Amino acid sequence: MSTTKAYLTVRGIDIDVVYKDIKNLHIGVYPPLGRVRVAAPTRLGDDAVRLAVIKRLPWIKQQRQQFKDAERQSEREMVTGESHYVWGIRRRLKIVERPGRMHLEVDGDRLVLYAAPGADSERRRTALDHWYREQLRHALPEVIAMWEAKLGLSVPRWGIRRMKTKWGSCNRETLRIWFNVELAKKHPDCLEYIVVHEMTHYLERGHGERFTKLMDRQLPDWRRRREQLNREPLAEEAWGTDCCTIR
C-alpha cells in the first residue's frame, strides 16, 4: 500500500497525516502527550483533512485533556526493583539507605538512590526528578552549541520544566526554549530532534511546508526520531482513542 505523509497544524494542534489507499478517514489521539494522527484516503487533500479535523476539534480536545489529566506513569513507589528509564535505557532501581545527602548514580544496569533511612517515597521521587533535570542540564549545552554552529543561530535562553502536552516549546518573542524534563528518559537522538525542532521555530513559526523543508534539510531523519520519541508511552500501559469521520 503506497503512502505519503504530511505535517499540519490546525488551531495550534500539530497533526501527523498519512495518506493511504483506504476508504475512510480516521483520526486518532495517542499517549503520552495527546499526539494527533490522521490516516486519510489519498483522494483527499490537505484542505479536506483540515476541515475534518476542525469538525472533530471538540472530541480531539477532550481526548487530549484526558491524557493531560491522567497520570502519565503508574505512581512510583521508589523501592528496589522498580524500572526507570535513563536516556532510553531501562534500569532497575536500587535503594541504599545511609545517612547523608540523598543522591542518585548509575551503576551498571542499575540506578542507585542513596537515601536517608526513613525517607518516604515522595522525597525519593523529588530526588529522582531533580536528578533527571540535572541530566538534561548537563546534556543540553553541548547539543545546543553544536546546532547553533550548524544553523548559524543563537539560543539566548533555555530552561527545563515539566510539560504535560509538549516535549518542547519556543517563544519567538523572547527566543526562550523550554524542554520537557521527561526527555531525560528518552534516547539522546530524541533530545537532539527536539533541539533542532524548537530552534527551527526561530526561522518558521508554524509547521507548514517551509518548516518541513527546513527540517528535512537540517535533520533528514527527523521523522524517525519523532516516531521514536512518541513510540514508547511514559505510562506503564499504552492506550489511545480514535474515530472515523469521513466515508
Q: Which fold has domain 122-203?
A: Zincin-like (3.30.2010)
Q: What is the pLDDT of residues 206-215, one digit of tens each?
A: 887 899 999 9
Q: What is the pLDDT of residues 140-192, one digit of tens each?
A: 999 999 999 999 999 999 999 998 778 999 998 999 999 999 999 999 999 99
Decide which of 199 and 65 is more confident: 199
Read off the pLDDT band of 70 (50, 70, 90). Answer: low
pLDDT attached to residue 230: 76
Grid cell, residue 194, equals: 527536539
CA-CA-CA-CA torsion for 230, 233, 239, 240, nearest 10 degrees? -20
pLDDT of 60 above 50: yes
Residue 120 in 3-state DSSP?
coil
pLDDT attached to residue 75: 61
Q: What is the DSSP letter of 153?
A: -
Grid cell, residue 138, equals: 548537563
> What proportion of the chain, given as a percentage, has pLDDT over 90?
63
Q: What is the pLDDT of residues 28-51, one digit of tens each?
A: 988 767 889 999 999 998 999 999
Q: What is the pLDDT of residues 75-109, one digit of tens each?
A: 678 899 999 999 999 999 999 999 988 999 999 99
Burial of 193-202, coded b for 16+ CB within 10 Å and e otherwise, reads: bbbbbbbbbe
Alpha carbons within 13 A on the beta-carbon side of 206: 11
Q: Are 51 and 40 in contact (CB under 8 A)?
A: no
Distance CA 20, CA 26 (A): 11
From-to residues of CATH 3.30.2010.10 in the chain: 122-203
pLDDT attached to residue 154: 96
Mean per-residue pLDDT over the chain, rounded: 87
